[in-house]
Chain A
Amino acid sequence: MRTRQSAVKAAVEKHGKERKNLLPILQEVKRSKNYLSRSDISDVAAEMNLSSAYVYGVASFYHFLDLEERGQNIIWICKTISCYMKGSKDILLALEEALKIKVGETTSDGKFTLLQTNCIGWCHKGPAMLINDQPFTDLTTEKVLNIIEEYYQKS
């Protein structure tokens, strides 16, 4: 936990203690293990002289500031209409089957978390998804399994 605390300290030092830097700080703290724990929240609050409740209130507002434990790689499948019309449901089912988890869950080896999200700005090339920061488009069930395999090998 010590290392976490120092990660928080470093992030606050880098961006500055003023409240306006809260989002970049939370984003940076989140990135080191893909989610924000309760102690991260209270550490950030203490460092910035804010209440934990306030920091939690802000963090819980934003979809990508995950407050639950996540895997090494987070898969976000777009569920909005243009991708839906191009078969995003099939992509989701293929992933659920391959990873043996349901949406919202993390694989037992901790490598993947499977989530859905709203339009990610690739509607002309649906179905689309993000793995961490990287977009993938024009997905087919075959293509998506190859992509997952690649990430599996890497992590």
Chain B
Amino acid sequence: MAKRKLKRVDLIFSQDCSCKDILTAALKKSREEIIQELIDSGLKGRGGAGFPTGLKWKMAAAEKGNRKYVICNADEGEPGTFKDREILDRVALKVLGGMALCAYVIDAREGYIYLRYEYRFLIPKLEKMIETFHKWMDEFDLDFRVKLFIGGGAYVCGEETSLIESMEGKRGEPRNKPPYPTNQGYLGKPTVVNNVETLVYTMMIMRIGAEEFKAMGIEGSSGSKLFSVSGDTHKAGIYEIEMGMTLEDFVKEFGDGDTKAVQVGGASGFCVPRKRFKETTIGFQGGLKGFSLPTGGSMMIFNSSRSMYNVLHNYLEFFEEESCGQCTPCRVGCQQLLKGIEAIKRGEKSHRYLNDLMRLSETMKLTAKCGLGQSVANSFASIVENFREEMIY
């Protein structure tokens, strides 16, 4: 079922269309038509979780009241991801266009771009773009304004409810869900939070149509996606590729000939060893045989000179620092996993202790409050299972 060859796509950064023209045409459609088109396209969120975008907008549109918000999630903090920065740098008007579409569909007047602190250098450029955009809004007679909100430097604030908390002047601690933001988001009002890349694709779907978008990719994972490629490769950078490629094809294209593993989805994603490249495809779960891995697009390549212990250690340090500390499984779990692998490496604990740590990470998956704590087990288990000897010796 997987796509046989890796196919490059050029939608996100293409300059062959004017955002204004796309908006002019799209805003002539009814809200329902736009929602239907997005649902038909099969577009799923590009921030990592993969929620169907059309459905999200539909839910927010169905909420009563006229105080609603559109938030563009530009907190991009997953290790190995840098595509949102590039999008905002090169095609910010497409992002703003996507926000306008959403505002029109759900009936929102205010939007925010939640920009991570590390991308402050983009502020002058973005402010200029927003100015141009506001002029367009006046021309379209659309009562919609966008502001920048600058984050404070916390990975967990990329999680949508934590992001909203921080916008409300609080510690960025994730909320319980439900209620979901589409129902009660920023300041308790219905809110759509979408990733930067997702918003661009809503614009591109308005341009090429649901059918053409859906013709790309595979069942359950339609269209294309940006991949941030780093690590042991001669071609580090950002690439737009059709969904559903196998890791084998990916490594053929990007590896350095000596690839031993690929980390798909960053620190919170999965480590795939060489022997699994063939059967692993990149796409959202479901509709695929073998392993299918969802991803925000982070692809880190490791060759055989790398110690997977160092890799895991680096990820665990990351989680231990970035855990918001709100719930015990994650706060204590991250610390114990990190201490645990260090103790095994030093020979203070027997290699059997790895099994206890595996169980701990499983418990975190089940009991942690948000995606951060729940996903630590992804990299932990996939690295320990496949590179057990490297953890011990």
Interface residues in chain A, defined as those with a beta carbon under 8 Å from any beta carbon in chain B: 18-24, 26-27, 57-58, 61-65, 79-82, 84-85, 117-126, 130, 133-135
Contacts and interface: CB of A to CB of B under 8 A. Distances in A.
Contact of A119 (B79, B84, B151, B302): B79
B262 to A, nearest CB: 13
Given A61-B154, A85-B231, A19 B79 contact: no
B229 A124 contact: yes
Contacts of B231: 81-82, 85, 123
B79 A118 contact: yes
Contacts of B187: 20
Contacts of A126: 230
B120 A121 contact: no
Contact of B152 (A61, A84, A119, A130): A61
17 contacts: A20-B167, A22-B169, A23-B152, A27-B150, A62-B151, A80-B318, A81-B80, A82-B230, A85-B302, A117-B153, A118-B321, A121-B118, A123-B230, A123-B236, A123-B300, A130-B118, A133-B120
A122 B321 CA distance: 20
Contacts of B230: 82, 123-124, 126
A79 B230 CA distance: 14
Given A82-B230, A124-B230, A124-B238, A119 B314 contact: no
Interface string B276-315: 0000000000000000000000001010001000110011
A82 B187 CA distance: 37
Contacts of B78: 119
Given A24-B150, A123-B230, A118 B171 contact: no
Given A24-B149, A62-B152, A85 B306 contact: yes
A81 B121 contact: no
Nearest to B236: A124
Nearest to B84: A121
A68 B171 CA distance: 19
B76 A121 contact: yes
**Chief secondary structure at chain B's binding surface:** mixed
B121 to A, nearest CB: 5
B166 interface: yes
A143 B149 CA distance: 33
Interface of B: 76-82, 84-85, 116-121, 149-155, 166-172, 187, 228-232, 236-238, 267, 300, 302, 306, 310-311, 314-315, 318, 321-322, 324
B303 to A, nearest CB: 9
A133 B151 CA distance: 13
B112 to A, nearest CB: 11
Contact of B169 (A21, A80, A84, A117): A21
B236 A58 contact: no
A119 B80 contact: yes
Nearest to B123: A133
Given A27-B150, A121-B116, A123-B81, 16 more contacts: A19-B170, A20-B167, A27-B152, A58-B170, A61-B324, A81-B231, A81-B311, A81-B314, A82-B230, A85-B232, A118-B155, A121-B84, A121-B119, A123-B230, A124-B238, A135-B121
Contacts of B117: 62-64
A19 B172 CA distance: 14
Contacts of B169: 18-23, 58
